[in-house]
A and B are shown apart, each in its own frame.
Chain A
Amino acid sequence: KNQVEQSPQSLIILEGKNCTLQCNYTVSPFSNLRWYKQDTGRGPVSLTIMTFSENTKSNGRYTATLDADTKQSSLHITASQLSDSASYICVVSANFGNEKLTFGTGTRLTIIP
């Protein structure tokens, strides 16, 4: 069964600090892995998308890594800002000819001043 597990479930850090969110998956055949940011009351917004051959990708202060061998990904946030408070969702795509997405339950990140 395809699954995506994220940790921690929630995280509180001080503004300006760095943090790393984790994602482990058992999805096959692997197509790509995406990180989304979902602000409260809004739809998810894509941060990064990585294919099998990519092991790191950055989007501003967000850096995602992918280890396809261990089926793990991380999202590192540098110099956090209050606006980073959101849920971060890891989504893994399996390619069955028609992309099938498996969503993680998300990490709820709260940045405090």
Chain B
Amino acid sequence: SAVISQKPSRDICQRGTSLTIQCQVDSQVTMMFWYRQQPGQSLTLIATANQGSEATYESGFVIDKFPISRPNLTFSTLTVSNMSPEDSSIYLCSVVTGLHYEQYFGPGTRLTVT
């Protein structure tokens, strides 16, 4: 299994500012992901955080808006840049590990942009 922590757990930010969310895993994992969950919606994959190389972004998400760092196998950050109210969401870090590609999620960061 994997235990994931995220910081901050929630934040209220002003339009035009940026927020960096941290994700820490209690074990080394190869596959780490960032998801967004908008109110009342299911999870949408933002990107795969690759250790030692640039993140792989899904359609509709770009590096300038959501820069990601992955300095090692236990840690990653997601920055939400130049925020607008439409970025208000829960942002979740996730890892895949184990023989059956078991996926674990962090507790999420609830972001409100005013």
Chain B interface size, under 10 / 10 to 19 / 20 to 34 / 35 or more: 10 to 19
Q: Is A99 an interface residue (CB 8 A)?
A: yes
Bound complex: CA A93 to CA B4 (Å) = 22
Please pick, from B42, B105, B107, the residue contacting A105 in the complex, using a CB distance under 8 A.
Answer: B42
Please pick, from B41, B43, B100, B104, the residue contacting A32 in the complex, using a CB distance under 8 A.
Answer: B100
Count of A-B contacts judged by CB separation below 8 Å: 41
Instruction: Judge whether A101 and B110 touch: CB under 8 Å.
Output: no
Instruction: Judge whether A41 and B110 touch: CB under 8 Å.
Output: yes
A82: chain B residues at CB < 8 Å are: none
B104: chain A residues at CB < 8 Å are: 46
Bound complex: CA A99 to CA B103 (Å) = 11
Instruction: Judge whether A42 and B96 touch: CB under 8 Å.
Output: no
B41: chain A residues at CB < 8 Å are: 105
Bound complex: CA A113 to CA B108 (Å) = 29
Bound complex: CA A105 to CA B4 (Å) = 23
Within 8 A of B (CB), among A56-111: 89, 91, 93, 99, 101, 103-106
Are A49 and B45 CB-contacts (below 8 A) given A42-B108, A43-B106, A43-B107?
no
* Interface residues as binary, A34-56 with B (CB distance below 8 Å gives 1, 0 otherwise): 10100001111110010100000
Please pick, from A36, A41, A101, A104, the residue contacting B108 in the complex, using a CB distance under 8 A.
Answer: A41
Which of B's residues lie within 8 Å of A, judged by CB?
4, 41-45, 92, 94, 96, 100-108, 110
Which of A's residues lie within 8 Å of B, judged by CB?
32, 34, 36, 41-46, 49, 51, 89, 91, 93, 99, 101, 103-106
A–B Cβ pairs within 8 angstroms, 27 of them: A32-B100, A32-B101, A34-B103, A36-B105, A41-B108, A42-B108, A43-B4, A43-B94, A43-B108, A44-B43, A46-B102, A46-B103, A46-B104, A49-B100, A49-B102, A89-B42, A89-B43, A91-B103, A99-B101, A101-B45, A101-B103, A103-B42, A103-B43, A103-B44, A104-B42, A105-B41, A105-B42
